[in-house]
């Protein structure tokens, strides 16, 4: 287990923390809502902030796109086929005509008139259908009624065509759920569990798409602070490196776990090994390259024989580990 986590995190340990957001303006708000525990649908509302600072025109015809390629993946995933009830409105409140460019394509044309300004795009996604249709468990967002939701940004968030060409394009993510449900955003994690509503800011669409959302009463949350003075007691970082954001003085480290193997899986031991694996990496590189990082692990029973698990993915400030059911550390395991 230690070897697995260390090898996996090593792939990304040399990356620097996400660059700071230069622009003081938010160009759009992505609002994800889930408020009905009997439903398997999430609702997404994209609200464009209309002001003179916007970097592209929102009047006239627009192209809305859902991703199909998974970062660092080898397969196409037809995430657009799970978009339901897609609507768009102008700033005057009028509905805008929407046409999909082709049956097989992930693009929609929003026929906004030249004298109208696009204001909102709304749609829903059925997470049960999402997981059933995507055979690789590591590429799918998931829901377990009354228990747990996990979403991959690139599998649920669409964008307007110009947005993927702008590096400094701050977007706000707002997640609204039941008041008693804890929420964890890898985009902007909190040292304490947040319930009901939380938010974060991405520097651009790619930053948003690379993030994950976890929530629900069966989500196991652990926060550990790893400081440089305790990790490197005999070292001192160059102040210029700290000022230039090349190293941090501490790491906020989070371990998120959801397991359906509750009788055998040892959450405490896996959490302990995750923390130790990260400390080993930081010691090896003698640097703390990011201010926060999340290890998110799922142990889920495959839906059927066609679905596969055991896949993992590294991200800017997180890694998602989908463990093959029944193969990881259990309550009979030892530290060795």
Structural domain boundaries of the chain? 2-323
* Contact of 178 with 201, CB cutoff 8 Å: no
Q: Which CATH architecture has domain 2-323?
A: Sandwich (2.60)
Q: Are 184 and 219 in contact (CB under 8 A)?
A: yes
Q: Is 189 left (phi over 0), alpha (psi -120 to 50) or beta?
A: beta
What pLDDT tens digit does each residue of the chain (336 aa) get?
Answer: 444 444 444 444 434 444 455 556 889 999 999 999 999 999 999 999 877 667 678 999 999 999 987 666 667 899 999 999 999 999 999 999 999 987 778 999 999 999 999 999 999 999 999 999 998 888 999 999 999 999 999 999 999 998 988 888 999 999 999 999 999 999 999 999 999 999 999 999 999 999 999 999 999 999 999 987 777 666 555 555 544 455 678 899 999 999 998 888 888 988 999 999 999 988 888 888 889 999 999 998 888 888 888 778 888 899 999 888 877 666 666 665
Q: What is the pTM of this model?
A: 0.88
Nearest to 68 by CA among 58, 80, 56: 80
Strands, E, within 289-328: which ranges?
A: 292-299, 312-314, 318-323
């Amino acid at each position: 287990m230690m070897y697995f986590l260390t090898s996996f995190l090593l792939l990304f340990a040399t990356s620097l923390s996400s660059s700071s957001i230069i622009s003081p303006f938010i160009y759009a708000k992505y609002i994800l809502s889930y408020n009905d525990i009997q439903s398997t649908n999430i609702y997404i509302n994209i609200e464009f902030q209309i002001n003179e600072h916007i970097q592209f025109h929102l009047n006239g015809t627009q192209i809305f796109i859902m991703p199909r390629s998974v970062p660092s993946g080898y397969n196409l995933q037809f995430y657009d086929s799970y978009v339901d009830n897609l609507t768009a409105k102008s700033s005057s409140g009028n509905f805008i005509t929407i046409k999909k460019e082709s049956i097989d394509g992930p693009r929609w044309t929003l026929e906004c008139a030249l004298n109208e300004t696009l204001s909102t795009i709304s749609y829903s996604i059925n997470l049960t259908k999402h997981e059933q249709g995507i055979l690789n468990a590591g590429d799918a967002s998931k829901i377990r009624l009354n228990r747990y939701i996990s979403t991959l940004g690139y599998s649920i968030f669409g964008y307007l065509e110009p947005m993927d060409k702008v590096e400094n394009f701050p977007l706000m993510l707002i997640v609204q759920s039941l008041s008693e449900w804890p929420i964890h955003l890898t985009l902007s994690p909190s040292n304490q569990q947040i319930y009901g509503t939380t938010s974060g800011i991405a520097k651009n669409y790619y930053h948003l798409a690379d993030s994950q959302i976890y929530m629900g009463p069966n989500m196991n949350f652990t926060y550990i602070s790893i400081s440089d003075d305790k990790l490197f007691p005999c070292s001192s970082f160059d102040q210029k490196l700290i000022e230039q954001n090349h190293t941090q003085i501490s790491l906020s480290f989070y371990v998120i776990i959801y397991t359906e193997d509750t009788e055998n899986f040892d959450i405490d031991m896996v959490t302990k090994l995750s923390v130790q694996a990260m400390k080993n990496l930081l010691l090896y590189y003698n640097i703390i390259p990011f201010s926060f990082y999340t290890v998110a692990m799922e142990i889920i029973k495959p839906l059927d024989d066609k679905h596969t698990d055991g896949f993992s993915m590294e991200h800017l400030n997180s890694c998602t580990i989908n463990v093959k059911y029944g193969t990881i550390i259990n309550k009979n395991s030892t530290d060795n």
